[in-house]
Structure 1
Amino acid sequence: SAFDMVEPMEFLYIRIVKAKDLIEVNDDCTCDPYVEVRVGNYKAITKTGEKLPNPEWNQVFAFSKERVHTFFIEIFLKTKVHEGDGVKGRLILDVNEAPKRVPPDSPLAPQWYKLEDLGGVCVKPELMLAVWMGTQADEAFTEAWHLDAVGVSCDEIVNTKSKVYMSPKLWYLRVNVIQAQNLEMVSKNKRPEVFVKAVFGETTAKTKISTSRNVLSPLWNEDLMFVAAEPFDSLLTLTVENKVGNNEEVIGKCVIHLGKLERRLGNKPVDSRWFTLERPVVEDGKKNGKETPALFNSKLQLRASLDGGYHVLDETSHNSSDMRPTVRQLWKQEIGVLELGILNATGLPQMKIMKNGQGGRTDAYCVAKYGQKWVRTRTIIDSSSPQWNEQYTWEVFDPCTVITVGVFDNCHFQGPDNVKGAKDSRIGKVRIRLSTLETDRIYTYSFPLLVLETQGLKKMGDLQLAIRFSCSSFFNLLQVYTQPILPKMHYSHPLSLYQQECLRHQATQLLSLRLGRSEPPLRMEIVKDMLDYDSRNWSKRRTTANSQRIKAALSGVGFLFQFLETLCSWKRPVITVLVHLFLFFLIFYPQFIISSICFNLSVIGLWNYRARPRNPPHMDPQLSNVHKLIQEDLEEEFDGIPTTCKNNDTLKFRYNRLRVIAGKMQILLGDLATQLERLQSLLSWRDPRATAMFVCFCVVSGIVLSVIPLRITYMGFVVYFLRHPKFRSKLPSVPVNFLRRLPAKTDSLL
């Protein structure tokens, strides 16, 4: 079935459609009709209908079968009047008589029911409704007003429903500013400093100041990049400006609509166009103070296009969920399907503390993002162990992608203590890389929810997920591993790292605005947290964690050097002798060198199979280096840019510590550069004597190696390298001494 990865949940659905003959023809339509549904101790009320004889509601209520402890459903048709609520009719239905519906069956058709008054006498008004038993696979599940949210008002119920969002199609807008002609300068007292400023939405970019000698026809030939989203509701405004002191005077401007630009799929350049510049409106003091535009003949030459061959990065490259280009014509065939079941969460803390001191509550919901599709589960009101049991699917085009699932607290339901401008609080986040999953296997695992706050690391509970990655063709899946991860445009016309990061921030802002227009809105703080908007900010913790990752990754090299040291020190003579024999064997049979290396690597891989990971990885506090943090490190990490710290001593401490860390990195990079420059100076004649000695050594070595058999040379090298400690010296060897004496460019550094 469509929901085979989650636990089925049965609901009693009640759809209230409309009523008729509610008001007599001669009566005044002053009442506000509504319907009240009672199931045991639970009550749900529709929104107030129109003041008409035949009002319509078309609302669905869902009552969990586990909480239905009655055999009857009471439905009241009421009207709001000045004296109170008046009952126009009542209907009683048997819960056990509700039919069961299982998709893909068609929806149950509603029907008219006769109503009775409180005394059991039939009345004229009738009510159209439908009652049935279903599961979360029912189409009405996402639109239903659930029992968990019965205490929520009609205006806020929309914020509790589960929804699917689609990201808008993002384009890279490339504006190549070439030149201008016939500029008319306002200030003519010095050499103009002309540049072009482009404004698109809330983003501004500027070219460099033109260095052309012809001040009336300056040249730039510079690219300005923006991120645009369909449908294009923003205009591109270009202004040619002249820098006068600390001020900037506008020479002319032009406005371009993106719908008129060419959309290119590859790297073929578009044709340049001339755009007429409009002089800004100026005040004419000679004509009664009216503002009149002057005649203008200036033009600006541009190449403006929408580049669809790129993938617009909205996530960090190592946590990206999509690698497809913008245009659909360049998409490759899908390789499989990703299914995610959001089951439940346990141990969630109280995220909202009421001002009246009556405790706290948590109104949790989940957001999952993969590719262009965002999903949001329904909000479970006031529960620290919510049960969602919702399942979603995505198309997969690349297995080396990541799905992100976040848990958040809904800020709309705080009762009388609701704070204006409150934000949804994050409870935790889980990332799963699809390439770490076996195909056609269901993983059901409870992931810890960890959040780093200013007080330190805090476990916010556990999130249980079920995930399955199914591939349609295993050959196509393996073929993807041989293809570039990004579209061709990223390699033929690459963007700089600085450009990519600036454009990623633009894309995040644009997505936040577009998804915030949905109903219910996907709030800006949710989008930024899911996309890791501030992942590039400075953090001493991340720097230390990355250094530890490098150290752990090079642990195998360290183990190899320890093994070589053991061999050379003859601590285990038997192993050293066996290594001698093995190396001598490879000397006499060199055709087995490559095969022996491949065989050893395969043995290591087979040996590590027994220790393979059995579950998807999750957030690791030890790897993130959060167990050694101090309060000052946390305050610095959560401090924004520009800083909000007003304590000068604290800022001085952070700055001095940053200088120390940067100094260590500078020394490391300097040492690496020095060694590379020494190797380069072997043949650069920077040190004539050293280069002459090295050239002579190469000539002599070539003559000797041409006379002595190659096997004897290799055997001599093995015997010398693995010689006994009695024949070793504690002083550095001759090659090391020679290399250390070579010159580097450190002498030329200031």
Structure 2
Amino acid sequence: MGSKAAPNQQEDYNLKDTKPQLGERWPHGGVRGGGGWISSDRATSTYDLVEQMFYLYVRVVKAKDLPTNPMTGSCDPYVEVKLGNYKGKTKHFEKKTNPEWKQVFAFSKDKIQSSVLEVFVRDREMVARDDYVGKVVFDMNEVPTRVPPDSPLAPQWYRLEDRHGDSKVKGQVMLAVWMGTQADEAFPEAWHSDATSVQGEGVFTIRSKVYVSPKLWYLRVNVIEAQDVEPLDRSQPPQAFVKVQVGNQILKTKLCPTRTTNPLWNEDLIFVAAEPFEEQLVLTVENKVTPAKDELMGKLNLPLNVFERRLDHRTVHSRWFNLEKFGFGALEGDKRHELKFSSRVHLRVCLEGAYHVLDESTMYISDVRPTARQLWKQPIGILEVGILSAQGLQPMKTKDGRGTTDAYCVAKYGLKWVRTRTIIASSNPKWNEQYTWEVYDPCTVITLGVFDNCHLGGNEKPASGGGARNDSRIGKVRIRLSTLEMDRIYTNAYPLLVLQPSGLKKMGELQLAVRFTCLSLANIIYLYGHPLLPKMHYLHPFTVNQLDSLRYQAMNIVAVRLGRAEPPLRKEVVEYMLDVDSHMWSMRRSKANFFRIVSLFSGVISMSRWLGEVCHWKNPATTVLVHVLYFILICYPELILPTIFLYMFLIGIWNFRFRQRNPPYMDTKLSWAEAVHPDELDEEFDTFPTSKPQDVARMRYDRLRSVAGRIQTVVGDIATQGERFQALLSWRDPRATSLYIIFCLITAVVLYVTPFRMIALVVGVLWLRHPRFRSKLPSVPSNFFRRLPSRADSML
């Protein structure tokens, strides 16, 4: 039997409305001290989608004229900042009386239990206790409050005092002390008092960071022909093919059908390359000697930056390249050095930036812009996301014998990835970090994931008992921007659901505040009638196999480049955020897509039942009205089409009352995750290729999964198209539904006043028009339809 959720447990899987105390804009810019506000002409802060969290900041800049130790004759200074039970230390310098630290410490106001802040300057000793140099004491009631965007507080020189508070100690230290919020510029790089248990390199992995995906290009290599390629055995002409490698991507042409020294292929090989280009294009011409043996006849190495960058559909010129020969010139005086012409290959190579490189490997597109920045248009809106907190997170690992979670959140939209700071040992972490993205198309998706940090340098062990050191996934949220009302703040708690081999499990809830601000409503309406992707996607489309391969390669490149940042955004995080396994076979997903299609026919079934009731006079009044309407339409056939459009207009107006008020979320019923069979889960979590021992079973099983995975994708696409039809009048995309019902109203009026024969003539002429008058780009209705949302965003 499948693992079904209890009735009361279903409520936990739903989206919840929340009412957080979001930060308000300060009444004035400036620094607030004990005497009130210090006025400023600067703009007020807009960090208003998160709860304000106050921190005491201590910036330790440098020191000068520090006294030396009488015993050693030198000074190895460092600074210790003490606030109650919390202590933070700077790095130490050896034999330096004028050190510069430039380090910031942050203490959460909620945890401050002391009325004084003490800053000690100490001299590090290797054997004895560290020597006391001097200190500076601050009264917490006198610390000013700074509110961005005011300029940073200027540091000041303070004379060091001895233990008794007398300024008799030689030396001064430069400090700045202020009370601020998480909107402060010093917040991301500051040492935080709640992360004192993190040691060594783990300190770098807990800070919040912003990442940018590498700029990806398509590299199109058109292998045309080669000349004068000769095998080692010249008695038999070669059967040649070309192998091209870019990084770890390897593609081959087909074998030339004829054995000749001048083979012809004319094949396109497509690769993904990331800028700045680190790989080279390595091309080899090889001879198929036997099915198990290939012979190298020539090689070519070219850097990628020498190729033309194509931004439109213009033709790229081909070039001849000389090949490096193999097997020739080993002996001095070899007669083959006397060849008049060397072997060469004819190529047409270009970097294509007019395409949108799918760096997501899924259908959840968050960026529709081409790679070339010259083709970008102006943004149409601003997306602001406040990552507030999480509640009820499950323990992900054990530390010192007890379960714990060190959670951080990652958000991905367009080329920009953000990572919040890691909250140490908390099942209810509070981040309260706000991020902003420019929006170029509303029909895009932002993805947010929560992970457990397993790289803090301690003795943590995974809760599962395994030895893996990967950051564990806690859950994920997807939000389609077109389902959001403009300029409205959405505050919701999203369930974090993960499907495990043991079944569906709720890992907690993620609380967000989301706002989509419109910059130009006219531009948004304009976009709904234009192609979703760049022009080259439709003029020179890729095949399905090419797209699958390119998505996979793009994902690997993005994972490698982001994994080289500091702190790294690790591969397991990137793969989970990009849904790398979304195209793998799953009986559960196949069932879910099947029932999505079945639900589409529910309206047709309801209509047939209603017609049956009409025919059987279940409701005499309704049947009489249907007869009257039928006779009217028979007598006046020109009223049929305007009546249909007017009826759809009225349905759209009626459905406005029942429109979805909250963003979509992970639907466990839609995903068929509640009643999944354990055997199906075992199959879904099986490796690919399968880990079954029998070779024959493995081959057949993998083949079945590969074919079924494609069927699953096709079924899902069919369901998506049907759900887009439903979205026309369901107000899931308020702007699209508004446009459609206005179109229905205008069409109804036009059809009422225009003779039916004229409408039929115009439609027939347009439908049968000559290909010369047809555009290769999709039509306005097609573009509008492709932008409509489907329920795929709610699939788990």
**Which category of TM-score, normalised to the shorter sequence, fits these structures?**
0.7 to 0.9
Per the TM alignment, residue 27 of structure 1 is displaced from its structure 2 partner at its CA by 8.3
Q: 1:473 maps to which residue?
A: 520
> Which residue identity lines up with residue 369 of structure 2 in the other structure?
R
Q: 2:263 maps to which residue?
A: 218
Q: 1:543 maps to which residue?
A: 590
Per the TM alignment, residue 436 of structure 1 is displaced from its structure 2 partner at its CA by 0.4
> Which residue identity lines up with residue 410 of structure 2 in the other structure?
V
Q: 1:493 maps to which residue?
A: 540
1:300 aligns with 2:345: yes
Identity over the aligned pairs, expressed in percent? 54
Q: 1:382 maps to which residue?
A: 425
Q: Residue by residue, what CA displacement relative to the aligned partner does 1:407-427 show, whole Å, maximum 9, x if unpaired?
A: 111111262246886111111
Q: 2:110 maps to which residue?
A: 66
2:238 to 187, 192, 212: 192
Per the TM alignment, residue 442 of structure 1 is displaced from its structure 2 partner at its CA by 0.4
Q: Which moved more, 1:597-606 or 1:539-548?
A: 597-606
Conserved? CA contact 2:398–2:460, under 8 Å:
no
Q: 2:452 maps to which residue?
A: 409
The alpha-carbon distance between structure 1 residues 293 and 634, as it changes in their structure 2 partners (threshold 3 A), is: farther
- Name the SS of the counterpart of 1:415 in structure 2: coil
The alpha-carbon distance between structure 1 residues 185 and 27, as it changes in their structure 2 partners (threshold 3 A), is: farther
Query: So what's the TM-score if we normalise by structure 2?
Result: 0.79
Per the TM alignment, residue 392 of structure 1 is displaced from its structure 2 partner at its CA by 0.7
Q: Residue by residue, what CA displacement relative to the aligned partner does 1:638-680 show, whole Å, maximum 9, x if unpaired?
A: 1221222447899699689979989999xx9xxxxxxxxxxxx
Rounded to whole Å, the distance in 1 between the matches of 2:118 and 2:429 is 28
> Which residue identity lines up with residue 511 of structure 1 in the other structure?
V
Rounded to whole Å, the distance in 2 between the matches of 1:653 and 1:186 is 40
In structure 1, runs of 5+ residues without a counterpart are 669-709, 711-750
Q: Which moved more, 1:559-568 or 1:524-533?
A: 559-568
Per the TM alignment, residue 570 of structure 1 is displaced from its structure 2 partner at its CA by 4.2
Per the TM alignment, residue 22 of structure 1 is displaced from its structure 2 partner at its CA by 3.1
1:54 to 89, 98, 120: 98
Q: Residue by residue, what CA displacement relative to the aligned partner does 1:391-411 show, whole Å, maximum 9, x if unpaired?
A: 111111100000001111111
Q: Residue by residue, what CA displacement relative to the aligned partner does 1:525-557 show, whole Å, maximum 9, x if unpaired?
A: 111111111111110100000000001122112
In structure 2, runs of 5+ residues without a counterpart are 1-44, 716-755, 757-796
Q: 1:45 maps to which residue?
A: 89
Q: Which moved more, 1:138-147 or 1:150-159?
A: 150-159
Conserved? CA contact 1:31–1:81, under 8 Å:
no
The alpha-carbon distance between structure 1 residues 30 and 280, as it changes in their structure 2 partners (threshold 3 A), is: farther
Rounded to whole Å, the distance in 2 between the matches of 1:216 and 1:47 is 68
Q: 1:83 maps to which residue?
A: 127
Rounded to whole Å, the distance in 2 between the matches of 1:444 and 1:614 is 12
Write the mapping of 1:324-403 to structure 2, written as runs, cut at 5 A: 324-354=369-399, 356=400, 358-403=401-446
The alpha-carbon distance between structure 1 residues 82 and 623, as it changes in their structure 2 partners (threshold 3 A), is: same
1:514 aligns with 2:575: no
Rounded to whole Å, the distance in 2 between the matches of 1:302 and 1:660 is 35
Conserved? CA contact 1:279–1:293, under 8 Å:
no
Please tell me whether Structure 1 or Structure 2 has the larger radius of gyration of its CA atoms: 1
Q: 2:3 maps to which residue?
A: none
- Name the SS of the counterpart of 2:309 in structure 1: strand
> Which residue identity lines up with residue 613 of structure 1 in the other structure?
Q
Conserved? CA contact 2:379–2:439, under 8 Å:
yes
Per the TM alignment, residue 117 of structure 1 is displaced from its structure 2 partner at its CA by 3.1
Q: 1:243 maps to which residue?
A: 288
Q: Residue by residue, what CA displacement relative to the aligned partner does 1:721-749 show, whole Å, maximum 9, x if unpaired?
A: xxxxxxxxxxxxxxxxxxxxxxxxxxxxx
Conserved? CA contact 1:311–1:486, under 8 Å:
yes
Q: 1:256 maps to which residue?
A: 302
Q: Residue by residue, what CA displacement relative to the aligned partner does 1:277-331 show, whole Å, maximum 9, x if unpaired?
A: 00247794789xxxx9998811011111001110001124531100011111211
1:459 aligns with 2:502: no
Rounded to whole Å, the distance in 1 between the matches of 2:543 and 2:77 is 62
> Which residue identity lines up with residue 677 of structure 2 in the other structure?
I
> Which residue identity lines up with residue 633 of structure 2 in the other structure?
L
Write the mapping of 1:99-248 to structure 2, written as runs, cut at 5 A: 99-121=144-166, 122-188=168-234, 190-212=236-258, 215-245=260-290, 246-248=292-294
Rounded to whole Å, the distance in 2 between the matches of 1:20 and 1:438 is 57
- Name the SS of the counterpart of 1:106 in structure 2: coil
Q: 2:684 maps to which residue?
A: 637
Q: Residue by residue, what CA displacement relative to the aligned partner does 1:151-194 show, whole Å, maximum 9, x if unpaired?
A: 22253211111111111111101110111011121134645221
The alpha-carbon distance between structure 1 residues 133 and 74, as it changes in their structure 2 partners (threshold 3 A), is: same
The alpha-carbon distance between structure 1 residues 484 and 664, as it changes in their structure 2 partners (threshold 3 A), is: closer
Rounded to whole Å, the distance in 2 between the matches of 1:199 and 1:423 is 30
> Which residue identity lines up with residue 68 of structure 1 in the other structure?
I
The alpha-carbon distance between structure 1 residues 407 and 664, as it changes in their structure 2 partners (threshold 3 A), is: closer
RMSD over aligned Cα atoms: 2.8
Q: 2:628 maps to which residue?
A: 581
The alpha-carbon distance between structure 1 residues 581 and 248, as it changes in their structure 2 partners (threshold 3 A), is: same
The alpha-carbon distance between structure 1 residues 634 and 115, as it changes in their structure 2 partners (threshold 3 A), is: same
Rounded to whole Å, the distance in 1 between the matches of 2:613 and 2:694 is 54
Rounded to whole Å, the distance in 2 between the matches of 1:392 and 1:645 is 46
**Count of aligned pairs between the two proteins:** 661
Q: Residue by residue, what CA displacement relative to the aligned partner does 1:542-598 show, whole Å, maximum 9, x if unpaired?
A: 000000000112211222222233334444444333322211101111221111101
Rounded to whole Å, the distance in 1 between the matches of 2:220 and 2:332 is 43
The alpha-carbon distance between structure 1 residues 367 and 658, as it changes in their structure 2 partners (threshold 3 A), is: closer
- Name the SS of the counterpart of 2:198 in structure 1: coil
Q: Residue by residue, what CA displacement relative to the aligned partner does 1:222-246 show, whole Å, maximum 9, x if unpaired?
A: 1111111111111111111111210
Rounded to whole Å, the distance in 2 between the matches of 1:336 and 1:141 is 27
Rounded to whole Å, the distance in 2 between the matches of 1:180 and 1:657 is 40
2:672 to 625, 635, 639: 625
Q: Residue by residue, what CA displacement relative to the aligned partner does 1:27-72 show, whole Å, maximum 9, x if unpaired?
A: 8687643211111111112223354222221111111111111111
Rounded to whole Å, the distance in 1 between the matches of 2:134 and 2:706 is 78
Rounded to whole Å, the distance in 1 between the matches of 2:574 and 2:337 is 44
Rounded to whole Å, the distance in 2 between the matches of 1:658 and 1:75 is 64
1:436 aligns with 2:479: no
Rounded to whole Å, the distance in 2 between the matches of 1:423 and 1:663 is 30
Write the mapping of 1:606-685 to structure 2, written as runs, cut at 5 A: 606-646=653-693
- Name the SS of the counterpart of 2:614 in structure 1: helix
Rounded to whole Å, the distance in 1 between the matches of 2:317 and 2:454 is 51
Rounded to whole Å, the distance in 1 between the matches of 2:490 and 2:625 is 46
The alpha-carbon distance between structure 1 residues 516 and 27, as it changes in their structure 2 partners (threshold 3 A), is: farther
Q: 1:313 maps to which residue?
A: 358
> Which residue identity lines up with residue 425 of structure 1 in the other structure?
S
Per the TM alignment, residue 87 of structure 1 is displaced from its structure 2 partner at its CA by 2.0
Rounded to whole Å, the distance in 1 between the matches of 2:338 and 2:73 is 62
1:596 to 640, 643, 665: 643
The alpha-carbon distance between structure 1 residues 474 and 410, as it changes in their structure 2 partners (threshold 3 A), is: same
- Name the SS of the counterpart of 2:669 in structure 1: helix
Write the mapping of 1:3-14 to structure 2, written as runs, cut at 5 A: 3-14=47-58
Rounded to whole Å, the distance in 1 between the matches of 2:426 and 2:656 is 42
- Looking at both structures, which has the greater relative contact order when contacts are Cα pairs under 8 Å and sequence separation is at least 6? 2
Rounded to whole Å, the distance in 2 between the matches of 1:567 and 1:177 is 66
- Name the SS of the counterpart of 1:623 in structure 2: coil
Q: 1:33 maps to which residue?
A: 77
Rounded to whole Å, the distance in 2 between the matches of 1:503 and 1:597 is 44
Conserved? CA contact 1:352–1:414, under 8 Å:
no
Rounded to whole Å, the distance in 2 between the matches of 1:378 and 1:576 is 65
> Which residue identity lines up with residue 49 of structure 1 in the other structure?
F
